[in-house]
A and B are shown apart, each in its own frame.
Chain A
């Protein structure tokens, strides 16, 4: 059974923009991206929207629906009342290009700032040996589809543009946590996380976890464990003393 929904879509570019109302037909079983496509086919042929897989796996169609960062393709229309106004805006933490398309290059810049996996000296590719129990913890983080909803909702950069230089954002702090938990990574990720990637800015309000379409427990399993590892290295004299007594030096590999 179909009905007409009241869509309110942000139209504009970096210079200017406004919310524009459209009536759009909705059929049973459709998601918001279907409705946006119908809008393109009917009343707004020049509407810009980024999308790809329509299956919640490519992370392209990120936007904000009724003020909440979500994937357009994973938000079902039957979660809204038929007479509800559905407002769709671009991600508000990033520069807008046009309509619903934003420039997310901040995230790529932050990704490049994180050194890649660094095996121990003398160990060549092909010689890596790990046990499943040692790698499965960080495998959760590999589910990330890089939709950047967590980066968008994090108030550290969403509400404070000036923090973008110092703060990598939850997605990339999670990447550091993944590498730090890797049984063979030899790099000192903990000091880097705090001193170069702004882990201290995170005040664990869990918005990143709330919006993650892959349901990754970003805060509980990545950010808080990383904070605790930083405490081990920077703020815990007991650990420091234990390392001295047991002559473990400043090692972190255990």
Chain B
């Protein structure tokens, strides 16, 4: 009888099965698609961060969420709604130097994106019951991955940014010419903010902070109601994570196209 190579380095006498996995389905497809999507979207965002233009449409008050709030003296006039606290930054420093790390940190430490990146980028593991390639594993028990526990701080900061994004979306309904106006850009900005709120509120840290940390729901009926509500949308967190990521990208693409003059904003009213 042949004596195949052990499944693991285990000293324990496990069943001697040579194959890395015996799964017959296309288990590799999902991590492959996720890795591709995350790489493309992150690559796009990095390029946009260093572009330093086409992020503001002065005529209609459209500011892309990637640059909001714009806080540098180098910001296009009119786009800095909250002042210019930062000096004129050199070209190798992106204008959203404060905003981007918060947004990236919020997504990178998100419990859903952790699952997606551990599987698709870190191969730890690529799929369930598929042997991972790493010889040692300590997970989130040590530096640097123990820093994943900072998710709630990114949640706090990202929520503050989202309030600013909401302000931007409202401003997009008041064009420079005065009065109230509706364009495709203002609708896109509003929809994007709605999806970002759905993603942020369905976050596991939010669910915990608003009610999950309690041991006696009966003593906190309002927080219990909130927790129950958030638990329902928490079940859709993965969907909101992807949809909102795509919506931010598409919103930025639209505003870039209008700002660069490649297309005109479709005006529905005023």
Contacts and interface: CB of A to CB of B under 8 A. Distances in A.
Interface of A: 10, 12, 14-19, 64, 66-69, 84, 87, 89-90, 92-96, 102, 131, 133-134, 137, 153, 155-156, 158-163, 180-183, 198, 200-207, 210-211, 220, 224-225, 227-232, 234-236, 252-254
Contact of B13 (A10, A15, A64, A93): A15
Given A96-B15, A134-B215, A224-B111, A205 B204 contact: no
A183 B216 contact: yes
Contacts of A156: 137, 139
Nearest to B133: A159
Contact of A202 (B8, B15, B139, B146): B139
Q: Is the interface of B mostly helix, strand, loop or mixed?
A: loop
A93 B13 CA distance: 10
Contacts of A155: 124-125, 128, 132, 137
B119 A205 contact: yes
Given A134-B217, A155-B132, 11 more contacts: A10-B15, A18-B1, A67-B19, A96-B15, A133-B217, A159-B125, A159-B131, A160-B137, A205-B115, A227-B149, A254-B214
Contacts of A181: 215
B2 interface: yes
A69 B17 CA distance: 15
Contacts of A200: 138-142, 146
Contacts of A64: 22, 129
Contacts of B234: 220
Interface string B105-116: 000000100110
A133 B11 CA distance: 46
A235 B148 CA distance: 11
A87 B118 contact: no
15 contacts: A67-B19, A68-B128, A89-B15, A96-B13, A134-B216, A155-B137, A161-B9, A182-B215, A200-B138, A203-B124, A204-B111, A205-B118, A205-B125, A224-B208, A225-B204
A134 to B, nearest CB: 5
B149 A235 contact: yes
Contacts of B218: 131, 133-134
B205 A228 contact: yes
A5 to B, nearest CB: 14
A161 B114 contact: no
A248 B47 CA distance: 49
Contact of B118 (A12, A203, A254): A203
A168 B227 CA distance: 28
Contacts of A235: 149-150
A67 B217 contact: no
A201 B134 CA distance: 14
Which of B8, B9, B118 counts the most chain A CB atoms within 10 A? B8
B16 interface: yes
B17 A89 contact: yes
B145 A161 contact: no
Contacts of A230: 149
Interface in B4-39: 4, 7-17, 19, 21-25
Contacts of B150: 235
Given A133-B224, A225-B208, A232 B213 contact: yes
A131 B219 CA distance: 10
